[in-house]
Structure 1
Amino acid sequence: MSPSTPSAENIRHAEKMAKIKAARDRIMAGKTDSKGLIIVHTGAGKGKSSAGFGMIMRCIAHEMPCAVVQFIKGGWETGERRLIERHFAHLCRFHAMGEGFTWETQDRARDIAAARSGWEVAKALIRDPAIQLVMLDEINIALRYDYLDIAEVTAFLQAEKPPLTHVVLTGRNAKPELIEIADLVTEMSLVKHPFRAGIKAQKGVEF
């Protein structure tokens, strides 16, 4: 057999891949790309906000107007915030509305007020048809502690979110009501974390 002659193994592989492609093409023919998604990143593992900011970076790369509203940890000086505000403010609106975790503020009324303010900003951004993706970072924490009413949040997303707008909601312990209405839910599983070995959050990794 000359080097240019396909082997029986390669022929079988090509035939198998052709069948798979045909099946995938049939599946894709019935799909649509014209729906704004409700996306939830939750779970005890690291990477929920990082995944959300990955989507923000994609939007910026495609010159799609987008926005971030940070609940809870809005007081942090993060690399994402610095990058977006310094270089991409024309494409991404960034609102840091939180005042820190509950054990830092130790003031429930203040935490509720900050969450409510963040939610009002979030609603205005989501209603704006020019903004194509809104990330609600750590909103699941505000919902978990009942700083925000889950029924109000889910009702708004179902009734008032423009049909083509994507909304990303991050934070551990996403409520079942939110998971129920979401189009895409990813749970980050914790396998191992350096904090348990006494290592603090690292610049460029956590913030």
Structure 2
Amino acid sequence: MTDSDPATSERPASETTPEQTRRETPGGGVRPTADSIEPAAPAEFGLVQAWWGGGKGKTTAALGMAFRAAGHGYRVHVLQFLKGGADSVEGVRGEYNAIAAVPGISYENTGHYGWHGLLDGSDDDEHLAKARGALARAEEILSGAADADLTEPLDLDGDLTDGVHLLVLDEVLYAVDQGLLDESDILDLLEQKPDSLELVLTGSHTEPTYLLDSADLVTEVRKVKHPFDRGVRARKGTEY
């Protein structure tokens, strides 16, 4: 128990000033000043993360890490599989606008309109072609990273083939679930990953057991309750 200011402790809560309230919170109400974003290199990157499960938040978690890394001046890229759009989602998602405003982070969407296997009028062969094309793009980015010195800062506006510190392959695990990619395709990507690159894989409602020996972090995002189950469609600002 800590000593308090007698004048403050005797004053009714209704008379406590905002400044006194801030002072008495953990941390004293201090907000750290943000630094400008300058090119830097991570000291401890190099792990493989996999985020899967039937709950909402896999992409959200990956994007949170991507923005956090970019905020430290690391070069980051988000490569999205399958998310080509749907009638419930606008073409430009909120993360695209935010990514465009932050130095060092970039994105590509390689999906085909609709969702593979849902009989929504989209062409399943086109989904397959797009997924294979995204896989080839991922291999190209990994090849560039392998040739770069990831222990050094990278140009925040540099070409992806010049290296990235963190690569997010969003929904790539769903592409495996849908039969558009093979488990061996993912394991081959992990073999190609340079030691200092942090690689994040998301997607799949089915546990990617084939990754358990290779990934350093495997997190299940479990659904307890979801508004979609009562007919609430994707909402702007939360789901896209």
Distance of 2:50 and 2:75 partners within structure 1: 20
Match of 2:74 among 64, 70, 74: 64
Aligned to 2:48: 38
Whether 1:163 and 2:209 are equivalent positions in the alignment is no
The match for 1:111 is 127
Q: Counterparts of 2:67 and 2:56 in 1: how far apart (Å)?
A: 19
Partner of 1:18: none
Alpha-carbon distance change, 35 to 133 in structure 1, aligned in 2, over 3 angstroms: closer
- Which secondary structure does the structure 2 equivalent of 1:53 belong to? helix
CA distance in 2, matches of 1:153, 1:164: 18
| Closer/same/farther in 2, CA of residues 205 and 157 from structure 1, 3 Å limit | same
Does the alignment pair 1:91 with 2:104?
A: yes
CA distance in 1, matches of 2:109, 2:233: 23
Deviations 1:41-100 (A, max 9, x none): 100011000000001101110110010111111344211112113x13x51221100013
2:187 alignment partner in structure 1: 154
Q: Is the 8 A contact 1:140 1:174 kept in 2?
A: no
- What is the aligned partner in structure 2 of residue 187 from structure 1? 220
The alpha-carbon deviation at position 123 of structure 1 amounts to 1.4
- The Cα shift of 1:174 comes to 4.4
- Asked if 1:80 is matched to 2:80, the reply is no
Contact 1:67 1:125 in 2 (8 A): no
Structure 1: segments with no counterpart, 5+ residues: 4-32
In 1, the alpha carbon distance for the partners of 2:196 and 2:213 equals 19
Q: Which amino acid aligns with 1:138?
A: E
- Aligned length, in residue pairs: 173
Contact 1:40 1:179 in 2 (8 A): no
With normalisation by structure 2, the TM-score equals 0.67
Which deviates the most, 64-73 or 74-83?
74-83
Deviations 1:149-194 (A, max 9, x none): 2112202312x11101011111122432123311001100100111
Distance 1:147 1:200 in 2: 26
Give the secondary-structure state (helix, strand or coil) at the position aligned to 1:134: strand
| Unpaired stretches in structure 2, ≥5 consecutive residues | 4-42, 86-90, 146-162
Tell me which of 52, 65, 89 is aligned to 1:55. 65
Preserved CA contact (<8 Å) 2:67 2:105:
no
Aligned with 2:115 (options 101, 107, 122):
101
Q: TM-score, normalised by structure 1?
A: 0.77
Preserved contact between residue 139 and residue 171 of structure 1 (Cα < 8 Å): yes
**What amino acid sits opposite 2:81 in the alignment?**
F
The answer for the alignment partner of 1:120 in structure 2 is 136
Deviation of 1:107 after TM superposition, in Å, equals 2.3
Provide the aligned C-alpha RMSD in A. 1.7
Q: Higher helix fraction: Structure 1 or Structure 2?
A: 1
